[in-house]
Amino acid sequence: MPAACESVLEDIEDIVSAQDLKPHERQSVRKNVFPKVRKRGSHKNIQTDDDPPSDSIIPGVQKIWIRTWGCSHNNSDGEYMAGQLAAYGYKITENSAEADLWLLNSCTVKNPAEDHFRNSIKKAQDGNKKVVLAGCVPQAQPRQDYLKGLSIIGVQQIDRVVEVVEETIKGHSVRLLGQKKDNGKRLGGARLDLPKIRKNPLIEIISINTGCLNACTYCKTKHARGDLASYPIEELVDRAKQSFQEGVCEIWLTSEDTGAYGRDIGTDLPTLLWKLVEVIPEGAMLRLGMTNPPYILEHLEEMAKILNHPRVYAFLHIPVQSASDSVLMDMKREYCVADFKQVVDFLKEKVPGITIATDIICGFPGETDEDFHETMNLVDQYRFPSLFINQFYPRPGTPAAKMHQVPAAVKKQRTKDLSQLFHSYNPYDHKVGERQRVLVTEESFDSNYYVAHNRFYEQVLVPKDPLLMGKMVDVNIYEAGKHFMKGQPVSDARVYTASITRPLAKGEVSGLTGEVRRALQNSSHWKAAPSAEVPAKTPASSRMALQLLWPQEGLKILSVSLAFLAVLVTFYYGRM
């Protein structure tokens, strides 16, 4: 007779074959079974092992420490991974020493960021911590020696972080680095409606697209994030609505290049922004992310109108990188300095007071003294209030790494010279005495003030009054520094409460329905439940919602249920 697994089961009773013992035969056999007395000292022959077998480890109860480096897009990814893990039952801790597993979310833009990432891996291994790697470094170069044998979650696979963590805790090494596609078309990435833990419950970071249309010769991020892939407008608007319903009062739009949004799906950035401003409540604000000059040039008129909207910060980050056309050509930046100036001049005219932030790379291969002086002149001309100065680092695998390098001492000196120029002027001195309306969203690094931002996304420090947090208030500016102003709230001014509802508590999971949230809180069995189980006490609709959150567990739950049913049948026949 063929084995039971080779035949088709039409009924659960078919598991019992004709050759199996009948119930009355099992009963008679039991009479001949005698208990065996264990001899004293036999326990000496039992092997002990500090680590239990992997199958005995119950995922979903461990503590996880998450560290993220890099841009706001990376921070958003880290928030999504934390939310999914916490919703599944893992405890997210800020204490790395007590954590069972470290989730390290990396940045590949510059060498120092990768060095910190590499050192953290070694520290985790020295501390016998389980490690899962994420972000752009392992996505771009997964075969590096120091990544061997370690679990990796790709930048487009963050919705499967629970699987990777679960297998890593069991002692396995897992790597998920694929791209998400729909009918062969590359998607923007993981769903936007996943559970999330916001680092700041008042600020929602929304990635509107991933990847870009450029091929900059110095950029390693392109190797990780790939070509442009935009999220549909309706999904982004829905995410914004959900955020406001959870108490968020400030939204950041982010991507590798927000200006290129929509080119792959037949729309554009202004169209998205007009849809978003329709759902922003009074007292809340929207901040735009970085855009490269070539793509914003096409929409200058519409962008000026949007940046003048009262619920959109008059702020734009436009990286120039160099004021030398020769250097920009070697960088393959696809614009010239005149293009950058046209964008800045137009926006300054049409959006009075707008803040333009920009980036400069010092010491790019082939940069001459004359090239650098042109950059110095540009900064001196526009006196950017926000300037990100970066010494060039050749990233492995990029064309710029193979170019003739500027000596390290020259790069260092140019970085120092540009920094001195930047610190030679104070952009906010003329604003002392002004009355400004600001939105308070966070605490300062020194914990002495609350941090707010005015209409132009300029930083204003205000007194630490808990009643101000998450509110829009009027202040009188009484002091100015290089990077900030200080303001005193006006006593008789109206206070705007931006939030539609109470903000989530710090560490609370976003993106869960009220029913699911109550189910997770009320079921004491949940955190101890094996990965394939949903608590028995959970209502049917909540069980369905939980399974939608983790669709990869569906087959596991079915297999466990069938196995459990088979055990019940066997037990039933054994009792007959």
Residue 161 sits in a domain whose CATH number is: 3.40.50.12160
Over residues 300-352, the pLDDT tens digits come to 999 999 999 999 999 999 999 999 999 999 999 999 999 999 999 999 999 99
pLDDT of residue 1: 47
- Confidence band of 523 (pLDDT split at 50, 70, 90): very low
Yes or no: say if 474 and 493 are a contact pair by the CB < 8 Å rule.
yes
Mean pLDDT, residues 526-542 taken together? 36
The pLDDT value given to residue 413: 98
User: Which residues neighbour 546 within 8 Å (Cβ) at sequence distance 6 or greater?
Assistant: 516, 519, 534, 538
Section 146-158 average pLDDT: 94
Structure confidence at residue 181 as a pLDDT band (50, 70, 90): confident
- Which residue would you say has higher pLDDT here, 23 or 342? 342
Q: Which two tokens stand for residue 449?
A: 């003030």
Residue 364 lies in a domain: yes
CA distance 194 to 551: 12
pLDDT at 123: 96
Identify the pLDDT of residue 307: 98
- Can you list the pairs that 448-451 forms with residues at least 24 positions away whose Cβ atoms lie under 8 Å? 449/486
Residue 22, in any domain of the structure: no
274 occurs within a structural domain? yes
pLDDT confidence of residue 13: 38
Question: What pLDDT is stored for residue 555 in this prediction?
Answer: 41
Between residues 541 and 265, which one has the greater pLDDT?
265
CA distance 571 to 576: 9
Q: Are residues 175 and 233 in the same domain?
A: no
pLDDT value for 564: 53
Domain total in the chain: 3
pLDDT of residue 487: 98
pLDDT in tens, 393-445: 999 999 999 999 999 999 999 999 999 999 999 999 999 999 999 999 999 99
* pTM, 2 dp: 0.80
Domain boundary among 390, 406, 426: 426
Nearest to 289 by CA among 481, 471, 74, 137: 74
pLDDT of 3 above 50: no
Last residue of a domain, one of 180, 214, 247: 180
Residues 395 and 463 in one domain: no
Q: Which residue, among 316, 247, 230, 238, has the nearest Cα to 279 in the 3D structure? A: 238
Instruction: Identify the weakest region by mean pLDDT among 62-76, 356-370, 458-472, 549-563.
Output: 549-563
User: pLDDT: is 538 or 463 the higher one?
Assistant: 463
- How high is the pLDDT of residue 531? 34
Indicate whether 322 and 223 sit together in one domain. yes
For residue 562, tell me if it sits in a domain: no
Q: Say what the pLDDT of residue 493 is.
A: 80
- Decide which of 305 and 571 is more confident: 305
pLDDT band at 51 (very low <50, low <70, confident <90, very high): low
Q: Do residue 71 and residue 127 come from a single domain?
A: yes
pLDDT at position 9 over 70: no
Lowest mean pLDDT among 21-25, 172-176, 305-309: 21-25
- Write out the two tokens for 572: 């039933």
Residue 6 placed within a domain: no
> Bridge-partner residues for 523, per DSSP?
none
Residue 166's domain comprises: 63-180
Distances, alpha carbon 331 to alpha carbons 226, 227, 339, in Å: 18, 18, 15
Phi and psi torsions of 209, nearest 5° = -160, 165
Cβ contacts of 52 within 8 Å, gap of 6 or more = none
Residues 352 and 434 in one domain: no
What do you get for the CA distance between the two ends of the chain, in Å?
26
Give DSSP secondary structure letters for 45-72. GS---SSPPGGG--TTSSEEEEEE-S-H
Q: Assess whether 370 and 455 both reside in one domain.
A: no
**Position 173: which residue type?**
S
SS3 (DSSP) at 357: strand
Last residue of a domain, one of 455, 471, 497: 497
Both tokens of residue 387?
């300037």
Q: Is residue 203 part of a domain?
A: yes
Q: Which residue type, as a one-letter code, is found at position 123?
A: K
Question: Are the CB atoms for 99 and 132 separated by under 8 Å?
Answer: no
Q: How would residue 179 be classed by pLDDT, with cut points 50, 70 and 90?
A: confident
Place of tokens 């950029």: 219
Mean pLDDT, the chain, whole residue set: 84
Dihedral of alpha carbons 71, 77, 81, 86, sign: positive
As a whole-number percent, the residues of the chain with pLDDT over 90 amount to: 70
DSSP β-bridge partners for residue 171: none
Residues 156 and 207 in one domain: no
- Regarding whether 171 and 209 lie in a shared domain, the answer is no
Is residue 127 assigned to a domain?
yes
Name the band, by pLDDT with cuts 50, 70 and 90, for residue 527.
Answer: very low
Q: Where are the alpha helices (DSSP H) in 352-435?
A: 369-382, 408-422
Asked if residue 413 and residue 470 are part of one domain, the reply reads no
* Per-residue tokens: 252: 């950041």
Residue 343 is predicted with a pLDDT of 97
The continuous run of DSSP H or E covering 91 comes out as strand 91-93
Token pair for 286? 């929207």
User: Which pLDDT value is given to residue 568?
Assistant: 54
Enter the tokens of residue 6: 């080779």
Adjacency order of strands within the sheet including 355-362: 315-317, 355-362, 386-391
Higher pLDDT, 561 or 214: 214
Are 202 and 231 within one domain? yes
User: What pLDDT does residue 499 have?
Assistant: 60
Q: Looking at the structure, do residues 172 and 190 belong to the same domain, yes or no?
A: no
Q: What is the pLDDT of residue 542?
A: 38
Bridge partners of residue 185, in order along the sequence: 182
The CATH number of the domain holding residue 445 is: 2.40.50.140
State residue 178's pLDDT score: 83
Residue 38: per-residue pLDDT? 53
28 or 135, which is more confident?
135
Tens digit of each residue's pLDDT (9 = 90 or more) over 235-252: 999 999 999 999 999 999
Residues 278, 391, single domain; the answer is yes
Please report the DSSP string for 174-219 in residue order: -EE-PPPEETTEEP-SS-TTS-B--SSTTEEEEE-EESBS---TT-
**What pLDDT, in 10s, does the model give residues 352-403?**
999 999 999 999 999 999 999 999 999 999 999 999 999 999 999 999 999 9
In this structure, what token pair is assigned to residue 480?
Answer: 């100015």
**Residue 560 within any structural domain of the chain:** no
